[in-house]
Structure 1
Amino acid sequence: MKRTSLYTILFALAFITLTAFTYFKRHKENVAQTKTALKIVKTWTLPASLNEVSGIAWAADNLIACVQDEEGKIFLYDIVQHKVVQEIAFADAGDYEGISVVNNDAYVMRSDGLLYQIKNYRSADRQVHSFQTAFNADNNIESLHYDAKQHTFITIPKDDDKEETSKNIYRVKEGQNGKWITTPTFKIDMQASELKEFRGKKVAKTLNLSELAIDPKSEDILVLEGKNPKLLVLSAEGKIKQVYTLDKSLYAQPEGLTFSPDGRMFIANEAGKKDGKANIVEVRLNR
């Protein structure tokens, strides 16, 4: 082997080693920073029926509405009694990912963009309607949140979006004749400096976002990633303020996010490992 080739190989190995060391050092530092900023103050272990919990929403005093990605049911979980107190069927089996509760009605988003409206959802004579939004299965929609100030829903595609270098937060609202209007409102730049360490060869794959919610106190938009657990804090205008790398031992696969009216934050985690258990954790964010 020529000496030049040997030097090239040694240089490449050194570069790869340094890059890997730098990445893992930053990752460790970010996880440590997150443990300081995010504190779990309470944990609720969910029943096996919610091992695949995919979305949560504050429903009423002490009640969190949950959906999972297999059954067309809403599970009402009481955080005082530590149990599911009501199961509400609204559709056949399907990949249900996001849920919002607006007064007496519940709204559930299927991953292909089909939005279910369950009017008087806790009543025996509830009515179920479904509407196709502008999204489809390629977008893989996993999020839904009701913005009470703007009277619209917001969501963000987990996978394909219109642009390779950004992910849009969309407003979804009911229009005329049963049609739903979808409008891109905020843009998360995948090339932002705050996301540099998470970028790979495909910029579009920098983040695979699983849920979002608006903090009622600060009006910040908080966005979760479940695949490689992260929590993004965005300003009300959609600008990145902070990115927290979540510890997988505490957040196995964060898929659900909601706030109580007084600003308590709750994150739902899928069971993750085969012998794992899904949970809801109440988290305090020290900014």
Structure 2
Amino acid sequence: MRLFLALLCLFSAAPVLAQRIDGRPRTAIMTAFPPEHAALAGHVERVRTVRVNGVPVMLGTMAGKPVLLVESGVSMVNAAMTTQWLVDRFNVKRILFSGIAGGIDPTLHIGDVVVAADWSQYLETTMARETDKGYVPIFRTPGNDLPNFGMIFPRDVEVGNRAEAKSWHRAFTADTALLAIARDLSLTESLARCVDVTAVKCLPHQPALHVGGRGISGPAFMDNAAYRQYLFTTFQARVLDMESAAVAQVAYANRVPFIAFRSLSDLAGGDAENNQMTIFMTLASANSARVVRDFVSRLPD
């Protein structure tokens, strides 16, 4: 009898853990930290807020489209964890990430918004042993011949989903239909050049929207000129952040369409003097959010 009751409790409790909070199909909009979230929160209408694992989730509409807005917290782990429970607890039609990034491509400028076509993890690596023959990694993933940066040897990621067997991935792609919508914005988007209306701190150039190329993510704030050059050369990367590739991987595993919008707050070590992130993170957050709002308005009903 005791065993029966224990099993009954176990199986009756299990569905509650995965119980869906909201059944309405929605576009999930993710951000990592407060400035990114604040740039979008005021544009969500008819708001109802729920909490998952202590994290507030805003349910409402944007441009008349059902959305949810959530701040995952900075880091690859937070981003992956939040993405999975969003998919488990809500009826997520697609995932958008909006936020700031460091610029890797030397042709880009602070304030620009990049919508990458795919995302890689640049710190998924082997830290190699140093020998009298140089750095020798104990293992390299099949087909990965990317050059090393000292002891750091890039690795690919092995993952699959219900449609594809596990295989090695260097990058996870943004949804092609969502990228097509983003490309339609390229000629129409006007982005902010000044930090605030007083125009005390303005960029010397007009920011632009760029769609395509590669983004990279890792669990580190990157501010090193030599490593920046290595990442640009090795990955052909345009931007670098701390969340998007993790979200892209979880979205792939769950077969949910994904796209990320990242505005440059700094140049990841390529700044002429000090890193500019603290100066331009609000402007960059606003520029990314502005593109996201226009993007959402063009999503199919």
TM-score (norm 1): 0.28
More helix by share: 2
More strand by share: 1
